[in-house]
Amino acid sequence: MKKRNNYIILITLVLFLTGCKKDFLDRKEPAEISLENFYIDAEDAEMAINACYAPLQWPYYVTPLMLADMMSEDNVKGSYYGDNSLQWNEMIEFQGITSALVVEWKWDKIFMVIFKSNLVLTKGPSIDMDKVRRDQILGEAYFLRAYAYFECVISWGGVPIITEPLEDYYIPKNTAEEVWLQVISDLEKAIELLPEKSQWPANQIGRATKGAAMALLGKAQLYRGAFQEAATTFNSLIALGEYTLAPDFGEAFTLEGENGSGSIFELQFAELGEHTVYNAEGNFIVTFQKPRNINMGWGFNEASFKLLNEFGYYAVDNESLDKLSNYSLTGTDFFTLANKVSALSGNQYDSYEEFKTDLAGVLSAIELSNNEFIIYRSMFKPTDPRFEHSFIFLDETIDGVYVDPNIVGVEHYTGMYNRKAWVEIPPEIWRKAPVNERLIRLSDVYLMYAEAAAENNNTAEAKIYLNLVRQRASNGSALTLNDFPNYSDGYGVPYSDTEEGLLRAIYNERRLELAFEHHRFWDLVRTGQAEDVLAEFGYVEGTHNVWPIPQKDIDRAGGVLKQNPGY
């Protein structure tokens, strides 16, 4: 089992401002600790900055990240519809709920990061310690506060900007533009103070770096439409020479591939701590996303067939029909079903929608309704080598674990799960999955750089970095991806060798490269595609491009904090 840097991982040792004891250091009794007597020396400073990372590792932060998948066309909630204690359905269906716990969780943890970072930035400069390390700590705090406000502005738009410790955090909102400027200011300071990834000792890997701050700065600039600035920032990041794409796409999602050559920022997790929600040091989102009832999985964040379309096609041939006739779900005569589907033998379909039209001609309405997802999975033929590292299907075996559809249950949405989050762990430690959460990868940066370059009419540069991502995906695979523009999207529509066609290809490449990685909803919103793509699900531009501020915080603020329009 992998080892982890205890400075980053052991949350129970760093939450000193939320109830954690400090007397394990034999320094002071807990009752003696205060803001006035804590920030004294290097030991205090290390504990203080570690506390800033901690809220991001809590299940109450990582779990809401899945909403950016589920609120897009690429994923569905999963599990079963009634499994909705956190109001997932209401958010995914754009019902305008202001009391969703899943949104409250993110708000609470993000502002905890801001609060703790403010303490470090306020108290840290006066701590008597090595100046180099003190500057690094301040750089980490600037980065983490910037990350927190980045997540705020894309999630809620304008929020209160708080840059010093306050007793009352309920103050009026700043505008979204003011929040963006705060993000950029903090990141520029972080870049000046942080070391590069290679300059951290091995046991400190996972801390913020100059590269991580540059990547987030470029991303912020891209979101704001400052394409020339974003391209310059991404180019400078690439020029550092700190990061390379791992030869194998799938390696990045293994335990051995964590913090690897293409990793720019990951949340660190390990098989440590007590087996409770509050004290386990594992990544709780792993349990959420495993197939339901398989290796303690809950079955959330299943892929949609709209996403699957992009990874291949559907063919009715002997191999697919045999797979369907042998499908291992009790209660259905799949042999007879396969015989009926065989009337379409020899046919190929770019999309499941096209396939469904023909299936309606050979199956009854009830047969199609009850079995269409099983038929699509059985007939699917991947053309993108990233498929095998991204998807888990029902009735398949992964790492020796059979994903039994009889155990998962009948109501399982699409039956396609997140392979990137999979790790087999003993059931007794299911809260301690030692899987890092990848937040920024080099391939993400390459595609953002390609987008910024294309928007600046530098199509030659954009094509280079788009094709680099596709070429890496093909390494070591029998499936080969063509360079732009010599391929089509999941509906068989070819890409034109124009700026418009190039941007369309880049947007879609992000779906393929970053599937299940919590980007798609934000990408749709920032590129102005959300209304066209998501209207069928209830999305309304001007309202659902941001989330509701939690009603409990509106109430506590006594009218000072105003709700977002439309909620």
Query: What does the DSSP assignment read for 245-303?
Result: --SSGGGGGSSTTTT-TTEEEEE---S-B-SSTTTB-S-HHHHHHSPTTSTT---EEEE
From residue 242, alpha-carbon distances to 84, 196, 452 in Å are: 43, 8, 21
Output the pLDDT for position 278: 64
Within 10 angstroms of residue 557's Cβ, the number of other Cβ atoms is 18
SS3 207: strand
Characterise 418 by phi-psi region: left (phi > 0), alpha (psi -120 to 50), beta (else). beta
Radius of gyration of the chain (CA): 24
Whole-number Å distance between alpha carbons of 107 and 563 = 14
Output the pLDDT for position 20: 36
Whole-number Å distance between alpha carbons of 419 and 277 = 23
Output the pLDDT for position 282: 84
Burial letters 173-203, b for 16+ CB under 10 A, else e: bbebeebbbbbbebbebbbebbbebeebeee
Q: Taking the alpha carbons of 189, 193, 196, 202 in that order, is the dihedral positive or negative?
A: negative
The structure's pTM equals 0.93
Within 10 angstroms of residue 254's Cβ, the number of other Cβ atoms is 16
- Find residue 380's DSSP bridge partners: 314
In angstroms, how far is the first alpha carbon of the chain from the final one?
Answer: 46
Q: Give the pairing of strands 437-441 and 263-267.
A: antiparallel
CB 376 within 8 A of CB 358: no
- What size, in residues, is the chain? 567
* Start-end of H helices in 167-266: 176-193, 210-223, 227-239
- Find residue 393's DSSP bridge partners: 416
Whole-number Å distance between alpha carbons of 493 and 223 = 27
Q: Domains of the chain (ranges plus CATH)?
A: 9-194 (1.25.40.390)
Output the pLDDT for position 32: 56
Angle, alpha carbons 69-71-73 (nearest 5°): 80
Q: Which amino acid is at 155?
A: S
pLDDT in tens, the chain (567 residues): 344 444 344 333 334 333 333 332 234 444 456 667 788 899 999 999 999 999 999 888 999 999 999 999 999 999 988 898 889 999 999 998 999 999 999 999 999 999 999 999 999 999 999 999 999 999 999 999 999 999 999 999 999 999 998 877 789 999 999 999 999 999 999 999 999 999 999 999 999 999 999 999 999 999 999 999 999 999 999 999 999 999 999 999 999 999 999 999 999 998 876 666 666 778 989 999 999 999 889 999 999 999 999 999 999 999 999 999 999 999 999 999 999 999 999 999 999 999 999 999 999 999 999 999 999 999 999 999 999 999 999 999 999 999 999 998 756 689 999 999 998 877 667 777 889 999 999 999 999 999 999 999 999 999 999 999 999 999 989 999 999 999 999 999 999 999 999 999 999 999 999 999 999 999 999 999 999 999 999 999 999 999 999 999 999 999 899 999 999
Q: Taking the alpha carbons of 254, 255, 259, 261 in that order, is the dihedral positive or negative?
A: negative
Output the pLDDT for position 427: 66
Query: Residue 151: in which H helix or E strand, if any?
Result: helix 131-156
Only one residue has tokens 């370059």, namely 453
The closest alpha carbon to 105, from 118, 116, 91, 119, belongs to 91
Whole-number Å distance between alpha carbons of 60 and 178 = 27
Whole-number Å distance between alpha carbons of 102 and 62 = 10
CB 388 within 8 A of CB 382: yes
Cis peptide before 485 (omega within 30 of 0): yes
SS3 393: strand
- The DSSP symbol for 549 reads P
Whole-number Å distance between alpha carbons of 362 and 317 = 16
